[in-house]
Amino acid sequence: MQRRHFIHSLAGGALAACAPSVFAQAYPARPVHIINPFAAGGALDQLARLLAQRLGDTLGQPVVVENKTGASGNIGAEYVAKSAPDGYTLVMGSSATHGIAPSIYGKRLPFDPLKDFTPISATVVQKNVLVVNASLNVRSAQDLIAMARAQPGKLSFGSSGAGTSQHLSGELFNKLANVDVLHVPYKGSALAMQDLLGGQLTMLFVDIPTALPHIRAGKLRALGQTAAEPSPTLADVAPLAQQGLPGFDIKAWYGVMGPAKMPQAVVQRLNAGIVEYLSDTQAREKLLGMGMEPLPLDAAQSAAFIAGELQKWTEIVRITGATV
């Protein structure tokens, strides 16, 4: 009797040990959904669709991008946090949802950026640029600062939403330049861009991929990059830190995450597919040309990166005093 029980225990232990491997081999058995918590047309949307196409090929199942917008990305992030942790519902997390939101929203935030998610893979660092309509009579960041000081409270800057890196870029601009420019939040970069081109906004802090076609077409004038180490995509546009605003250093990041407690084998499979894409020479060149710098990190490195970025953004929020 004891021998039979021992054999059954061994068999049960073997099944438990191989369960994650079996689950990983069976995954995915149906389409995977990546939630983009921001509106279609922006840099994050472009990145999500590039990743989805490659992951679909790698996984052998369609990977579908869905836009669930609102509350600066928090609605889409909350949706994923409360989804089943089976690897079929993921989110494009960002510095907005997992870096800035905890400090901006405090107890109102409906999720914990670390406890309620499984980091799968960091993807890219995204740098923003300060742009104005080409018809505006300014040629430099200092020209814009002089205009803002002459008209306190009369100028406006747009962003892809309150609590985003673009919003914080504008608040840091106000702080370091000692000006008062009104923040106008949108539900995505593309929507803010429409109003800048239409003359409803004075200036816009926006991701480089969204701004680049309009800069090249001569419709927008780029006045400064928000990162201290500028993107080579706009090599002729100096960082704001070199234009009389020392200490100005803001850049966004994006990463793929799932709900907490995802099977490790599934996390590793997804991470391998994403890292393979980010390390591909042609993919890297494409992303760099869009102003995105790939971060091919494993899951553990990605988790450490996200935790570190949360601390950095908490300090930036404190310095700027930004609120929603």
Geometric angle at alpha carbon 91, from 89 and 93, rounded to 5°? 160
pLDDT at residue 323, rounded to an integer: 84
Neighbours of 298 (CB within 10 A): 15
CB 313 within 8 A of CB 99: yes
Amino acid at 84: A
**In a structure prediction context, what are the per-residue pLDDT tens digits for the chain, which is 324 residues long?**
444 444 444 444 444 444 444 555 689 999 999 999 998 888 899 999 999 999 999 999 999 999 999 888 999 999 999 999 999 999 999 999 999 999 999 889 999 999 999 999 999 998 899 999 999 999 999 999 999 999 999 999 999 888 899 999 999 999 999 999 999 999 888 889 999 999 999 999 998 988 999 999 999 999 999 999 988 889 999 999 999 999 999 999 999 999 999 999 999 999 999 999 999 999 999 999 888 999 999 999 999 999 999 999 999 999 999 887
Note the helical H segments in the chain. 2-26, 43-59, 74-81, 95, 101-105, 141-150, 165-177, 189-197, 208-216, 264-279, 281-289, 299-320
Query: Going by DSSP bridges, is the β-strand pair 117-133/203-207 parallel, antiparallel, or unpaired?
Result: antiparallel
pLDDT at residue 124, rounded to an integer: 97
pLDDT at residue 291, rounded to an integer: 82
DSSP-derived 3-state class of residue 136: coil
pLDDT at residue 244, rounded to an integer: 95
Identify the CA nearest to 30 among candidates 70, 84, 96, 92: 84
Dihedral sign, Cα of residue 169, residue 175, residue 179, residue 185: positive
Across-strand partners of 258? 118
Question: CA 258 to CA 35: how far, in whole Å?
Answer: 10
Question: CA 300 to CA 113: how far, in whole Å?
Answer: 16
Note the helical H segments in 219-280. 264-279
Residue found by looking up tokens 């800035």 in the block: 100
Q: What is the rounded end-to-end Cα distance, in angstroms, of the chain?
A: 67
DSSP-derived 3-state class of residue 255: strand
